[in-house]
Structure 1
């Protein structure tokens, strides 16, 4: 009840502010209702033999308030995410809620060259953005808001943003804690969304301590893979520091990134005993953290000399390294590189590309972790729309080689079609643990085709219809699930998404 009253009061306050007229400030208020109806038969992982396709509708409802003054920018995004039918038509207090605060930040303007009232002239623009916020950089490959996911992604952090002589320099930092309760000591951090109870080895449900993350459930079935990807899974850093640097030189843009994230150390522990039931897990009560360093650069450009003959040509090349230690304390030595080209002629654009994310050679391990983790980006945009890699369903230990060809045809400003093809393979050799005589797995994982139609019904409403097909191999099944011959080889996924985003302060009502 208190939460409901708080939300109602806050919403009324936002509408009240939006009605205030001021010549010195600008306010915005946008809403969003985004529904996505899906039919899934192998999305994220190959489906088991004999299983039926799943179908459901999910919905994101959002209210975004913004305020801009010459020395302050302010933003709040309240978001609700649910699956249709997930709640009964009449719910009680025990059902809980999925209403959450997606963004809430303030940005203080410290310098502005176009405003003579500022005494600070060292920067053309300097500001401090603090609070819950999204990170959006370059093609959201490593840092993005994961907008395809209804919940999205955001960070609680401080971000200092500066511009000087064409350079953009962003410096960010975050420090996460699980609670601010009285009596709490130390800075131990549990980097996961942990249930309050779990079934032990005997099938009885037991309560979990606040600093304990279970790794096995009833029968010893693993709950957490190791090492865990931070991208799209329920893992979070204890602290992070980042520096982003970019500048445009003619038709070429340079963007460099340094990102350090630190993970709380833990020790292996258990709850209960073998006779009455036991749960194995990780206890996050060890001083110190494991630090991971990711750094590299991206170049994007436009080839004007060839534009008259071939059309508009854009290109991209990038390379990143990852060193330090993963969240389990294992030494890291990884890399990620790739390049792609897009040729646009009239309404049609086409483009090939290739990228590689390093992985472990499980035939001859050397004690280091060679799996590149693409940080906190938007995997859905880069590694196939069926989300088989670097999302919540995990990724292959052998890494990923992705050769792709993308096409887009624009019918008019309101309608376009895309057709993408991906060929997936392992970046490194993996041992076939089910067949010793076979030695290693075939590196070929499979092929995926993604088809999209995108249409703007009106100024505030967009309709997107998609279909994807994946033909997987035995290697894909083993790399993802540890089995061979127990899943369907062909996966299908289709969806219809309606996105309604009205701007309440600029919409004119007409008869």
Structure 2
């Protein structure tokens, strides 16, 4: 065999060895939501008029994937219908700037060990207690981060880090004290069987002391998540402990305990649960005992009225106990009715809270119809029966019946999909 023929055969062989199958997708998401707010986020007062409006999320995702690289870019527009700034009877001539980059990241394969993901991406883990998609918010939430995704001896391990800045500065590393400047975490997950799933999570979140100093205080959060499924029985639990220092430099010692049990009987699934976030009995003391849920989901777990979003402000550092029960019924493969009742209490009474822990009852009723693989419609009706303690916390004395209704359409079609062989 001469050299020329050898080189040709070698080149052809390398071509078939190196080529991989590449996939390109163009996906869209369109989500308008109609809301009637009459006590949403804060108790309705006598004489107040309900608010009605339509918000809209529009996303377009470009994704490219081979055996060695993944790319995803998702621009997003979020708006309220009619929020145009320059309009006349002849048409619309201007609008609020509302287009942003929701996702923009690359994942590169690191041999047989795993992947490294770099850029703006979602960080969603376990049951979203500390890292959540925050999907109720039309904007959602993503993070500018570097994440190593490894697979070692049946364990899925993610190690991530993020360093946030307000601008490309020449000196200093100033940041808003209420926002996380440095985020670092380690997540280890293993599915021991079809029945048992287990995760370990550690988060080191650093915040600046003030917006004019470089001092960083780190709060550490360590805990586990477990899930057990067997013949219709579903058990789920979280336990996390926080330590380190808060944004004022005060020592932290706080905890979160969460447990849920459900059992499917035919098309019906009843369940009960408890979420407990520790609070401060002495807010002025040397130790901060109020648990910080970080980037966890509020709307999903603490009631759809969203009365408990900021636990420093909304519980006066008292923490929260949520005793809840739920019923889910599947009328068919596409239609589901769910009702969840919450009874809320303060975890602790302190000098800033009312003397009675009881905060009242919330009822969340939802109906969802998934009419296609790419589309669904969901409606919800929520009401809250407050106690005097909640009225005191919110500073509302002349309240009326508080309720909230929404109707949401979600369309998520794949507009274009192509697979091709490439180097």
What does residue 297 of structure 1 align with? 224
1:70 aligns with 2:67: yes
Gaps of 5+ in 2: 1-18, 419-423
Conserved? CA contact 1:44–1:393, under 8 Å? no
1:287 aligns with 2:201: no
Conserved? CA contact 1:432–1:441, under 8 Å? no
For the residue of structure 1 that corresponds to 2:264, the secondary structure is: strand
| Alpha-carbon separation, structure 1, partners of 2:127 and 2:280 | 26
For the residue of structure 2 that corresponds to 1:345, the secondary structure is: coil
Conserved? CA contact 2:117–2:146, under 8 Å? yes
1:153 aligns with 2:136: no
What does residue 245 of structure 2 align with? 325
Query: Following TM superposition, by how much is the alpha carbon of 1:298 offset from its aligned partner in structure 2, in angstroms?
Result: 1.1
What does residue 252 of structure 1 align with? 196
| Alpha-carbon separation, structure 2, partners of 1:394 and 1:170 | 33
CA, structure 1 residues 287+456, in 2 after alignment: closer, same or farther (shift >3 Å)? closer
For the residue of structure 1 that corresponds to 2:111, the secondary structure is: strand
Aligned with 1:236 (options 170, 175, 179) = 179
- Listed one character per residue, the Cα deviations across residues 250-292 of structure 1 (whole Å, up to 9, x for unaligned) are 32111111001111122xxxxxxxxxxxxxxxxx221321111
What does residue 59 of structure 1 align with? 56
| Alpha-carbon separation, structure 2, partners of 1:145 and 1:295 | 20
Query: Following TM superposition, by how much is the alpha carbon of 1:457 offset from its aligned partner in structure 2, in angstroms?
Result: 2.6
Aligned with 1:361 (options 264, 267, 281) = 281
| Alpha-carbon separation, structure 2, partners of 1:132 and 1:419 | 35
Identify which range, 416-425 or 44-53, moves more after superposition.
44-53
Conserved? CA contact 1:45–1:393, under 8 Å? no
- Provide TM-score, normalisation by structure 2: 0.89
Q: What's the Cα RMSD here? A: 2.0
The number of equivalent residue pairs is: 394
Aligned with 1:470 (options 350, 373, 384) = 384
| Alpha-carbon separation, structure 1, partners of 2:227 and 2:213 | 43
What does residue 443 of structure 1 align with? 357
What does residue 455 of structure 1 align with? 369
- Listed one character per residue, the Cα deviations across residues 376-434 of structure 1 (whole Å, up to 9, x for unaligned) are 0211111111111125995312111010001111111111110111100010113367x
| Alpha-carbon separation, structure 2, partners of 1:323 and 1:387 | 27
Query: Following TM superposition, by how much is the alpha carbon of 1:327 offset from its aligned partner in structure 2, in angstroms?
Result: 1.7
For the residue of structure 1 that corresponds to 2:299, the secondary structure is: helix
Identify which range, 462-471 or 497-506, moves more after superposition.
497-506
With a CA cutoff of 8 Å and minimum separation of 6, indicate the structure with the bigger relative contact order: 2
What does residue 11 of structure 2 align with? none
| Alpha-carbon separation, structure 2, partners of 1:128 and 1:394 | 38
| Alpha-carbon separation, structure 2, partners of 1:432 and 1:242 | 34
| Alpha-carbon separation, structure 2, partners of 1:36 and 1:169 | 37
* Structure showing the higher strand proportion among its residues: 2
For the residue of structure 2 that corresponds to 1:377, the secondary structure is: coil
Conserved? CA contact 2:20–2:66, under 8 Å? no
Aligned with 2:43 (options 29, 43, 46) = 46
Gaps of 5+ in 1: 1-21, 113-122, 192-234, 267-283, 434-439
Conserved? CA contact 2:23–2:417, under 8 Å? no
Conserved? CA contact 2:125–2:131, under 8 Å? yes
| Alpha-carbon separation, structure 2, partners of 1:81 and 1:150 | 7
What does residue 100 of structure 1 align with? 100
